[in-house]
Copies of this chain bind each other. A is one copy, B any other.
Amino acid sequence: MSKIFINPTKEQWDHIIQRPVLDSQPLEKTVSGILMDVKQNGDAAVKKYALQFDNVALSELQVSKAEIDEAKALISDELKKAIQIAKDNITTFHAAQKEDIQKIETTAGVVCWRKSLAIQKVGLYIPGGTAPLFSTLLMLGIPAVLAGCKEIAVCTPSDKDGKVNPVVLYVADLIGLKNIYKIGGVQAIAAMAYGTETISQVFKIFGPGNQYVTCAKQLINKEGIAIDMPAGPSEVAVYADETCNPAFVAADLLSQAEHGADSQVILVASSQAVLDKTTIEIEKQISVLSRKNVAALALANSRFIVMENEDAAFDLLNAYAAEHLIIAADNADELADKVISAGSVFLGHYSPESAGDYASGTNHTLPTNGYAKAYSGVSLDSFVKKVTFQQLTKDGLNNIGSAVKKMAAAEGLDAHENAVSVRLKK
């Protein structure tokens, strides 16, 4: 079913770790047209596209208080309890990312520091479709609130009757988000990027989406609106050695595969035996899954690799830079030191990706497509700017003044020099 490689040489790695090519070029014209239309025609254009693409005639774009109350009544106590556990853990982990101001005296009389200041207006996009990702709203909304963002807009598409998924509304209400809009697709990204009569413009847009949404985020990013990160299909890489439990490994591979036919699944096993045992477990487990057809499609594109050399295995995994990396080994702790590039790492036999997807506390909005080589996942940092401050006394300026003047002169900038001289002359 999947492609199998036994101790591939470095020359083969580029081929093995290749992602599907995501060429948004063909979509750009369509997406640009929608962006421009919403920019110029605001709510009217948003409603037009909701009718055209989602087959829904919206009178109001904003979800009302009554709709939220109605949704809340539909959620079982059991699900509410589960969401509360997730919320608590996500809050604990992200709250610990708050930084105290640390004043550094770099030279006597020269004090510098950084201060985290919330991005005032942010937009969160929550896709609709087959699996309503209320968990993504937890992952984006909780740090936005913790960071102190003043205006937090949530856009998510409604169904054909103009209803938004009730769990999404319940979660929004639980974490204190008031501005929820029934808008999906490119028109949602446009509305948040440019503002309309109903939605105010934001400075940064977060959240996953289909290829049209991804393309829209790229285009508005080029215009200066920040985005969380570039996007691609979800991925897991599992490193499994002889100490692994093949049934666990199989379950983890399948939980990634069920996300979509384009999901990326990679197994790096320390031996052929581990690979074989895992394959048998996959066959056993897949038959009972409700999304088994989707999972089978993803597995057809998966890569199962035997790497008998442990260091080479991690070199390959670092070159791949998986969104999720599971290390299924007794000494996962030690092996963790070999990780250089990944989005989020799951250590040992009892840390399935699902734990991080929902409730361990880490964020599940992570870099895919090898972007983990340069990008971090979403964290509290994603919702703040770290602004530098400096305060010099006259003595402080005197201590570094001649260095500043000398360097400014060497760069040919004498007004820079003068800004020091005029102060020290006095």
Q: Measuring CB to CB, which residues of chain A are less than 8 angstroms from any residue of chain B?
A: 24, 78-79, 81-83, 85-86, 88-89, 92-93, 96-97, 102, 104, 106-107, 110, 112, 114, 117-120, 130-135, 167, 203-204, 218, 221-222, 224-226, 230, 245, 247-248, 251-252, 254-255, 257-259, 285, 289-291, 295, 332-333, 336, 339-363, 367, 369-377, 379, 381, 384-394, 396-397, 400, 402-404, 406-408, 410-420, 422-423, 426
| Contacting residue for A345 out of B291, B373, B388, B394, CB 8 A | B388
Whether B390 lies near A362 (C-beta < 8 A) is yes
Minimum CB–CB distance from A87 to chain B (whole Å) comes to 10
Whether B423 lies near A359 (C-beta < 8 A) is no
Minimum CB–CB distance from A219 to chain B (whole Å) comes to 9
Whether A82 lies near B407 (C-beta < 8 A) is yes
Whether B362 lies near A112 (C-beta < 8 A) is yes
Would A376 and B386 be within 8 Å (CB), given that A351-B397, A352-B423 are in contact? yes
| Contacting residue for A344 out of B359, B387, B414, CB 8 A | B387
Copies of this chain held together in the complex: 2
Whether A361 lies near B104 (C-beta < 8 A) is yes
Given contacts A221-B221, A359-B400, 4 further A-B contacts (CB under 8 A): A135-B411, A345-B387, A347-B389, A356-B390
Whether B360 lies near A112 (C-beta < 8 A) is yes
Closest to A369 in B: B224
Interface of A is mostly: mixed
CA–CA, A409 and B106, complex, Å: 54
| Contacting residue for A342 out of B112, B372, B387, CB 8 A | B387
Whether A387 lies near B376 (C-beta < 8 A) is yes
CA–CA, A347 and B390, complex, Å: 6
Minimum CB–CB distance from A340 to chain B (whole Å) comes to 6
Whether B251 lies near A404 (C-beta < 8 A) is no
Whether B290 lies near A412 (C-beta < 8 A) is yes
Would A203 and B93 be within 8 Å (CB), given that A110-B360, A112-B362 are in contact? no
| Contacting residue for A394 out of B119, B342, B350, CB 8 A | B350
Residues of B within 8 A of A406 (CB): 78-79, 81-82
| Contacting residue for A341 out of B120, B133, B255, B377, CB 8 A | B120
Whether A391 lies near B361 (C-beta < 8 A) is no
Minimum CB–CB distance from A157 to chain B (whole Å) comes to 16
| Contacting residue for A336 out of B131, B362, B389, B426, CB 8 A | B389
